[in-house]
Structure 1
Amino acid sequence: MKKMKRLIATAMLPAAAISLAACGGGDEESVEDYPSQEIEMTIPWSPGGGSDIEGRLVADHASDQIGTDIVPVNVPGVGGTVGLEELTDKDANGYNIGQIHEGLLVAHHSDVTQINYDSFEPIASMSSSDQILAVSDDLGVDTLEEFVEYGQENEIQFGGTVAGIPRVWVEQIGRELDINYNLVGYEGIAEAIQALAGGHIDAAIVDYPSGSDFVESGDMKFIAIGTEERVDRTPDLPTFVEKGYDITMGINRGYVAPEGTPPEVIEKLEAALEETANDEDYIEAVENVGASVNFMGTDEYNEYLDNQDQIISDIISEISEE
């Protein structure tokens, strides 16, 4: 009974005075005083991939907007689900946030994890990365036409996270191009790219920041991009669409907080991320690594995730029924 009285009393306080300690924050602090300590950002992937690179850019630039340090922490494992599962158990006090993208939705509908985007409080989407079909230099193909011809006579070994969005993309490419293919599982795009550069696999779906150095060094080649039209940074790279294939691929990287994080805190984080997304230094930094700023506020991001969840659920169901 005493516990119930305390809960009722808390509910009657003004919103700005709600104690973050009630959300696991330790020492009492009102939302009005937030933030008063550093914020930890879980990046559920290994260092070096596109998600890690873009997450660190967000942390660096958003720290100035929110008024405290945002500290990235890599917690890789099982297609990005280990770090996010750990995040669900962290204090919902505004000092724990994490990065997600469409891969979490694939992992959920593939029965890899019980958590999904709605296990969190979505804050905002910050950037998007166009996805590119890259092949090993050892494969001996230079164009998409040669790739299709090779794949119709041989089995192409793709690398990627089996429990992530690459699984969906590989299925789309394999079916649309009518090639023989197999997906070799790796823990994140960084590992898949290392395998591709070493000639251990034939192909992978990568983003520009993750693969550009390996292309410049001659270890792999970009042969098609999953955008509707060609992009300025790779003007000579054709799209699947212009080659007659109905394939588009992209990732939107966003940020979430543990379920139960106070709405007023989510609003402060959303505002800081929006200011970051409009900052010219951040925009330049994101574009320099080959990505694009794509801000969606809390409401719009929730709607986007709802729509993507239905699309991915349908695709995984089709795959499972075969």
Structure 2
Amino acid sequence: MNRRTIATGLTVLGLLAATGCSASTSNTAAGEDYPQAGKPVEIIVAFAPGGAVDTAARLVQPVLEEELGTNVEVINAPGAGGQIGYTQLTSATADGYTIGATGSPSVVVSPLDPSRGASYTRADFQPLGRQVIDPAVIAVQPDSPYQTLEELLEAAKKDPESMTATTTGQLGGEHFALAQIAETTDASFAPVHFSEGASQATTAFLGKHVDVLVANVSDVTDLVKQNKARVLGVMGEEHAKALPEVPTFTEEGYEVVSATARGYSAPAGLPEPVAEKLEAALQTAIEDPEVVQKMGDLGLETSYLGAEEYEAFWAQQETDYKEVLPQVQESN
């Protein structure tokens, strides 16, 4: 396998002509009074509280409030591997008062699979900025008999799907990572999908209801510190700063690279002045030194991209995931 880093016009025109307004004038007016005093901006997080997506949103929240001059509220809408929250986001009015945390591959892949019945496509999102790249990891219980990544993978090769492994939902990042591991190493795990996110998956692992935790660096940093999990391998291009002693899969001889990208988007169609204000506020919040430090302490490495770059990254990911989607669907 190749190595992958697993980015009614006529009616409107008629109304504008009848009122003597132009789209440019309308958009400028919308931007001048945005945000209105006392009207909050909501950040929809498509996963349960306590996970990396939720934590990152709550770290940028106070800086956004300062930059926008209004309250910013984090709203959790978990379920269906992020699809419930993404549906809520893309169904909202494109006025700047509803934005959402968007993470790939979930936001990229869910509309590509017809069986998911997603009501949105990539075109329904307006990317505002990327915040982090969070490499995937594989972990076992502290008392697990498997001391190294090689030992775990060899066991999963000899007895395929004898061990269960967590994901944060079908076609989520962990699901893709497991499929990539299977194709690259012939080590096969039985995926157990937890559609509400990393917190639900971690709880199941800590309760020993699943054998292996497949997660992101940020999900396991505290678990390692508390000796509640032993990470055997990181699926990043290089060592994770939060887990400096843990080898990468590549170092161990396995060409497996997988990571989750997270950022923020709005419903498509924002007035340009509103989009510019949100993009600028998010950049300030994401790159705020205190936010970057707190993110780093949690194992979340800031990797900012502006709106245009994030959109291009998203489009490339869509192309990449289309290629590997069939094999992941086979592993459901």
The alignment's TM-score, normalised by the length of structure 2, stands at: 0.87
**Partner Cα separation in structure 2 for residue 184 and residue 65 of structure 1:** 41
CA positional deviation for 1:249: 1.6
Structure 2 residue 162 is the aligned partner of structure 1 residue 153: no
2:107 match: 104
1:90 and 1:232 map into 2 onto residues whose CA distance is 37
| Structure number with higher relative contact order (C-alpha < 8 Å, ≥ 6 residues apart) | 2
Question: Which residue matches 1:238?
Answer: 247
Distance in 2 (alpha carbons) for counterparts of 1:124 and 1:3? 29
Per the TM alignment, residue 76 of structure 1 is displaced from its structure 2 partner at its CA by 0.3
The 4+ residue runs of structure 1 with deviation greater than 3 A are 1-6, 9-19, 318-322
For 1:200-252, what per-residue CA distance to the aligned partner results, in whole angstroms no more than 9, with x for missing partners? 11112212332233333333211111112223322210000111111112111
CA pair 260-10 structure 1, distance change in 2 beyond 3 A: farther
Asked if 1:174 is matched to 2:182, the reply is: yes
How many residue pairs match? The answer is 313
Q: Percent identity?
A: 27
Query: Bigger CA drift: 215-224 or 69-78?
Result: 215-224
Q: Structure 1 residues 180 and 89, CA, compared in 2 at 3 Å: closer, same or farther?
A: closer
Partner of 2:3: none
1:50 alignment partner AA = A
Q: What CA distance in whole angstroms lies between the structure 1 residues aligned with 2:221 and 2:65?
A: 28
Kindly indicate whether the alpha-carbon contact (under 8 Å) linking 2:233 and 2:248 is maintained by their aligned counterparts in 1: yes
Structure 1 residues 16 and 267, CA gap change in structure 2 (3 angstroms): farther
Q: 2:82 aligns with which of 75, 80, 100?
A: 80
Contact 2:250 / 2:256 at 8 angstroms: preserved in 1? yes
Q: Does 1:165 pair with 2:173? A: yes
* Residue 304 (1) aligns with residue 313 (2): yes
Contact 2:127 2:266 in 1 (8 A): yes
Residues 16, 295 of structure 1: alpha-carbon distance in 2 compared, 3 angstrom cutoff: farther
Deviation string 1:76-98 (CA, Å, 9 cap, x unpaired) is 01000101101222121110001
Paired residues of 1:44 and 1:77 also in contact (CA < 8 A): yes
Q: Spell out, residue by residue over 1:259-290, the C-alpha distance to the aligned partner (whole angstroms, 9 max, x if none).
A: 22212211111111122233211211211111
Match of 2:141 among 126, 136, 142: 136
Contact 2:27–2:273 (8 Å) recurs in 1:
no
- Structure 1 residues 100 and 10: alpha-carbon distance in aligned structure 2, compared to 1, 3 A threshold: farther
Range with greater deviation from structure 2 (170-179 or 104-113): 104-113
TM-score using structure 1 length: 0.89
- SS of the residue corresponding to residue 60 of structure 2 reads helix
For 1:281-292, what aligned pairs fall within 5 Å after superposition? Answer: 281-292=290-301
Q: 1:286 to 1:5 in 2, by over 3 A?
A: same
**2:269 aligned with 1:268:** no
Report the 3-state secondary structure (helix = DSSP H, G, I; strand = E; otherwise coil) of the residue aligned with 1:101: strand
SS in 1 for 2:164: strand
- What do you get for the CA RMSD once the two structures are aligned? 2.3
Give the aligned residue type for 1:168.
Answer: F
**Per the alignment, do residues 86 and 147 of structure 1 end up closer, same or farther by CA in structure 2, a change over 3 Å counting?**
same
SS at match of 2:163: strand
Of 89-98 and 276-285, more deviation after overlay is shown by: 276-285
